[in-house]
Amino acid sequence: MTISIQSVAKSFGRFPALNGVSLEIADGELLALLGPSGSGKTTLLRAIAGLEFPESGQILFDGQDMTQVSAADRRVGFVFQQYALFRHMSVARNIAFGLEVRKGADRPSKAAIQARVEELLKLVELDGLGGRYPSQLSGGQRQRVALARALAVDPSVLLLDEPFGALDATVRKSLRKELRRIHDATGVTTIFVTHDQEEALELADRVAILNLGVIQQVGTPSEVHDAPANAFVCGFVGEANRLEGEVRGGRFRSGDIELASPGVADGAATAFIRPHELTRAAAGAGAFALTVERITPQGPVLHVEGRTADGRRLEAAFARAGGLGFQPGDQVQVAVERAHIFSA
Amino acid sequence: MSQRPANADSALVQGVVLAVMAAFLGLVLILPMATVFYEALRKGWAPALEAIQNPDAISAIKLTLITAAITVPFNAVFGVCAAWAVAKHEFPGKSFLITLIDLPFSVSPVVAGLIYVLIFGAQGWFGEWLIDHDIKIIFALPGIALATIFVTFPFVARELIPLMQEQGVDEEEAAVSLGASGLRTFWSVTAPNIRWGLLYGVLLCNARAMGEFGAVSVVSGHIRGLTNTMPLHVEILYNEYDFVGAFSVAALLCGLAIVTLALKTLLEILQPQTRRPGH
Amino acid sequence: MTSIADHPPVAVRRPLFRRRSAIPGFGLTLGVTLAILSTVVLIPLFAVALKAGQQSPAEFLADAFSQRALAAYRLSFGAAFIAAAVNALFGLITAWALVRYEFPFKGLVNAIIDLPFALPTAVAGIALASLYAENGWVGALVKPLGWKIAYTPLGVVVALAFIGLPFVVRTVEPVLRDLSADVEEAAASLGANRLQTLTRVILPALMPAWLTGFALAFARGIGEYGSVIFIAGNMPYKSEIAPLLIIIELEEYKYAGAAAIAVTMLGASFLMLFVINLIQAWARRRG
């Protein structure tokens, strides 16, 4: 199902949570809503679910206006951050709930409901745990139950609020893959909220980045990472060194460092340089000295922290292969291979 | 140096504290309760049993049960409604509303009775109209029920509001997003989570409803066999120096209090959040 | 059609009353709540104020502050204050024992603390009256000392001490329980002795709850009737409490007089409610 969000605005008291947000989500897409806390991402997700109602704007499902339709009638699957499992119901009853509350001819037979529950338990790899109660499950298992419960109603869209937020790092990673697998298996349009850019980039087909109730950029993970639309996106997605400086005549200057900045207007500007875009170079034009302070191995790269001659801290990531040939205290020559420069 | 942990008291301090507590509780709580049973059985079982089987006593017991049967469900329904509105929704003036719901706890029971006399009594707002239509509220069951509803008004609501606030709205939102109606959400999701708290409120409401004296005393008219509740019957017997009779009916009410405390303790084990100060 | 992406940020329309909630039933339940609250509590309370207001101010003052009424207020407020103070002291001790110590019958003691909530006040009244009368178990014991408890103002204090006991214990207890042991250990590690720890660390932390318990017991005591009238003696100007005076006025068909005293007492109740809310706001601010 396609979802179209048109100029949606919503405030809590004086605080505007969504400030005219528009977004199109394609059928079968897996989209991440990424942003810092207070960016409005959860409010947007809840507005899609019908758990919040916008003050203006529209939300369309397959072209049909759902803005004022109650959550009960939207047939969405919502996975809550703290799972919100019904604590007094067994896992199986939790999963069956959405089918059992249907009225009249809509309600499947007992046998059909049971079959569906079994099928979903298998899908989320919890076979045989239907009789347990939520309090008897681990965090990761609860999250799977919440997912199965949301999927049981054959939702037109699956919405997940910080689905991995309450889990420890290892469980997070494996459940991420799980969500991708389940999404691919069911093909249901899926939107999830996260503040973790790594999670968004790894899992989603497209990422929508929000800040202060406004969408900053929507694009594929590589688009938002490699071609950030503005300074916020660049600083929020991926690691970057941040240099404040000035642009004059297509050149960005910040202390000793000078970079080409085609298309950026003259005036104060900020340059973002990703650690891996800072490379070792021979002394000469464009290169500058970095005094190494600390070296940390991180998988295939070595993470190097150092200071420029005028005392600014920079971080670089050098390939580990072949060794480095320097130690903390040494000076190395580096050059900026690529930078993202935005007018301030 | 002593080997006690920093936050433990010496045996001497513990002994003194426990002795003071025992003496105080003994004088104020335990001896009065013992007195009730002692005075009731002073002349043996027969007069005591006779006193509670007296027709006036029986009709007082009946009236007390009827009053509780009206009051408790009424306040339970009110409490659930108020708690649903207050705990599951946001709106301006909420804490003021909670204060208003709590208001009857700070009003003297006698004043609670008086307000209904001023409205429904012979000299009251509706007095003449009620007399013309031969409707009795004051000095009759409706007045007794109203006054009792007033003094027990907040019990269920103030038990449920904090409990339901603590439980949040996640489960209800989940139920609604899965397609459940409001009523279905309440019965399947909310009710099982609050049942012990609700029962706790109902229990305390019932104890107060059966035992209310001041408010009922103002509106009842003390008509023997007709508008006397058990506590009023105790008063009449006591003032007539029928101490065995008075204390026998009192012992029955004392039994009710003991059952209430036992059930209350049980409910606090079943739903630990119910234990709250200030009833 | 304009492209949706080009829309400027929309001016946020603030809803007049409340935002729509995803959970149904708000209008119905709030409506029922307000309707019942108004008919049972608010309108009747308003009626008593109206009745008192029908008199001229001079008449009102003559009724509300007659010598007899003033004596009754003095007794009701004075005895309630002393009883609340007694409860504050012994309630704190009881709460301390319940939280900190292990002793036989602890569960039973814990349950019996709430007896005043469960026991009908009239039963408490006659029991206390016969216990503290000159021929009662306790009354006989103190008689040789020249003390008379029942049928004196002291008897009123005893009855109100019974009624108010659970308020202090049950407000202080949870706070004392939550007061973590490390605070005391920290104080001890900084060189404080046990008494210093108690007066400088524990009591200040308990203060808001302690005051709340005191205020709740006091507020309850002001209006208490059933447990008091049997033990009070009910002598005008000496041992007659304010609620009893209302009943006496009513029995003499002096409705305006009863309303005047009731309004004065309601004023005192609202003041206490306000004070209690202030204490709790203060407690919340202190975290």
Q: What is the pLDDT of residue B3?
A: 54
Measured between CB atoms, does B178 come within 8 Å of chain C? no
End-to-end distance of chain B based on CA atoms, in angstroms?
A: 45
Task: Return the amino acid letter for C8.
Answer: P
The answer to whether residue C170 sits within a structural domain is yes
- C41 and C61 together in one domain: no
**With contact defined as beta carbons under 8 Å apart, do A71 and A51 qualify?**
yes
Min distance A77 CA to chain C CA atoms (Å): 15
The answer to whether residue C12 sits within a structural domain is no
Chain A hits for B174, Cβ within 8 Å: 78, 80, 84-86, 149
The answer to whether residue C137 sits within a structural domain is yes
> For the stretch A138-154, what's the b/e string if a residue is b when 16 or more beta carbons lie within 10 angstroms of its beta carbon?
eebbbbbbbbbbbbbbe
Q: What is the pLDDT of residues C149-173, one digit of tens each?
A: 888 899 999 999 999 999 999 999 9
Q: What is the pLDDT of residues C221-274, one digit of tens each?
A: 999 999 999 999 888 888 899 999 999 998 898 888 999 999 999 999 889 888
Helix (H) or strand (E) holding B44: none
- As a whole number of angstroms, the distance between CA C121 and CA B207 comes to 11
Min distance B7 CA to chain C CA atoms (Å): 6
- Closest Cβ–Cβ partner in C44, C131, C189 for B119: C44
Q: What is the pLDDT of residues B44-99, one digit of tens each?
A: 899 999 998 999 999 999 999 999 999 999 999 999 999 999 999 989 999 899 99
Q: Is the pLDDT at B278 greater than 50, yes or no?
A: no
Residue B44 CB burial class (10 angstroms; 0-12, 13-18, ≥19): exposed
Q: What is the largest CA-CA distance in chain B?
A: 85
- Tell if the CB–CB gap between C12 and A55 is shorter than 8 Å: yes
pTM to 2 decimal places: 0.86
- C156 and C171 together in one domain: yes
Query: Which residue of chain C is at minimal alpha-carbon distance from B261?
Result: C111
- Tell if the CB–CB gap between A7 and C4 is shorter than 8 Å: yes
Q: Is the pLDDT at B274 greater than 80, yes or no?
A: no
Min distance A71 CA to chain B CA atoms (Å): 5
- C116 and C133 together in one domain: yes
Please give the tally of structural domains in chain C.
2
- Tell if the CB–CB gap between C12 and A70 is shorter than 8 Å: no
- C104 and C179 together in one domain: yes
Q: What is the pLDDT of residues C192-207, one digit of tens each?
A: 777 888 888 888 889 9
- As a whole number of angstroms, the distance between CA A211 and CA C214 comes to 50
The answer to whether residue C103 sits within a structural domain is yes
- C112 and C241 together in one domain: yes
- Tell if the CB–CB gap between C13 and A56 is shorter than 8 Å: yes
Chain B hits for C133, Cβ within 8 Å: none
The per-residue DSSP string of B77-137 comes to HHHHHHHHHHHS---TTHHHHHHHHHGGGGS-HHHHHHHHHHHHSTTSTTHHHHHHTT---
- C246 and C110 together in one domain: yes
Half-sphere exposure of A333 (CA within 13 A, CB side): 7
C225 secondary structure, DSSP code: -
The answer to whether residue C148 sits within a structural domain is yes
- Tell if the CB–CB gap between C8 and A20 is shorter than 8 Å: yes
Min distance A117 CA to chain B CA atoms (Å): 15
Q: Give the domain extent around C42.
A: 25-54
Min distance C176 CA to chain B CA atoms (Å): 12
A91 secondary structure, DSSP code: H
Three-class DSSP category at A341: strand
The answer to whether residue C8 sits within a structural domain is no
Min distance B268 CA to chain C CA atoms (Å): 10
- As a whole number of angstroms, the distance between CA A40 and CA A50 comes to 15
Task: Return the amino acid letter for B109.
Answer: P
Q: Is the pLDDT at B2 greater than 80, yes or no?
A: no
The CB density around residue B136, as the number of other CB atoms within 10 Å, is 14
Q: What is the largest CA-CA distance in chain A?
A: 80
Q: Locate tokens 């506590």: which residue? A: B231
Task: Return the amino acid letter for B125.
Answer: W
Chains that touch B (3 or more CB pairs under 8 A): A, C
**With contact defined as beta carbons under 8 Å apart, do B116 and C264 qualify?**
no
Q: Where are the domains of chain B?
A: 8-40, 45-275
Pairs across A and C, CB distance < 8 A: 46
Chain B hits for A152, Cβ within 8 Å: 178
Measured between CB atoms, does B2 come within 8 Å of chain C? no
- C152 and C272 together in one domain: yes
Min distance A158 CA to chain C CA atoms (Å): 18
Pairs across A and B, CB distance < 8 A: 63
Pairs across B and C, CB distance < 8 A: 312
Task: Return the amino acid letter for B184.
Answer: R
**Which residues does A25 contact at the CB level (< 8 Å), separation at least 6?**
A2, A3, A4, A5, A31, A157, A189, A191
- Tell if the CB–CB gap between C10 and A20 is shorter than 8 Å: yes
- C108 and C47 together in one domain: no
Min distance A314 CA to chain C CA atoms (Å): 37
Architecture (CATH level 2) of domain B45-275: Orthogonal Bundle (1.10)
**With contact defined as beta carbons under 8 Å apart, do A192 and A146 qualify?**
no
Q: Are strands A15-25 and A3-12 parallel, antiparallel or unpaired?
A: antiparallel
- C121 and C217 together in one domain: yes
For the ranges A6-10, A112-116, C2-6, which has the lowest average pLDDT?
Answer: C2-6
Tokens coding A313: 């801290």
Q: What is the pLDDT of residues C11-23, one digit of tens each?
A: 444 444 445 788 9
Provide the percentage of residues in chain C whose pLDDT is more than 90: 53
CATH of the domain at C190: 1.10.3720.10
Angle at A139 between CA B274 and CA A299, to 5 degrees: 145
All domains of chain A in start order, with CATH: 3-232 (3.40.50.300), 239-343 (2.40.50.140)
- Closest Cβ–Cβ partner in C23, C90, C243 for B169: C23
- Tell if the CB–CB gap between C10 and A71 is shorter than 8 Å: no
Among B residues 88-117, those touching chain C with beta carbons less than 8 Å apart:
88-92, 97, 99-111, 114-117
- C44 and C109 together in one domain: no
The answer to whether residue C1 sits within a structural domain is no
- pLDDT greater at residue A189 or residue B128: A189
Query: Which residue of chain B is at minimal alpha-carbon distance from C122?
Result: B231
Helix (H) or strand (E) holding A304: strand A301-308
Chains that touch C (3 or more CB pairs under 8 A): A, B
Provide the percentage of residues in chain B whose pLDDT is more than 90: 72
- Tell if the CB–CB gap between C10 and A56 is shorter than 8 Å: yes
The answer to whether residue C15 sits within a structural domain is no
- Closest Cβ–Cβ partner in B173, B188, B192 for A84: B173
Measured between CB atoms, does B191 come within 8 Å of chain A? no
The CB density around residue C201, as the number of other CB atoms within 10 Å, is 18
Tokens coding C124: 């408490």
- C66 and C193 together in one domain: yes
Query: Which residue of chain B is at minimal alpha-carbon distance from A71?
Result: B177
- C102 and C210 together in one domain: yes
**With contact defined as beta carbons under 8 Å apart, do A246 and A276 qualify?**
no
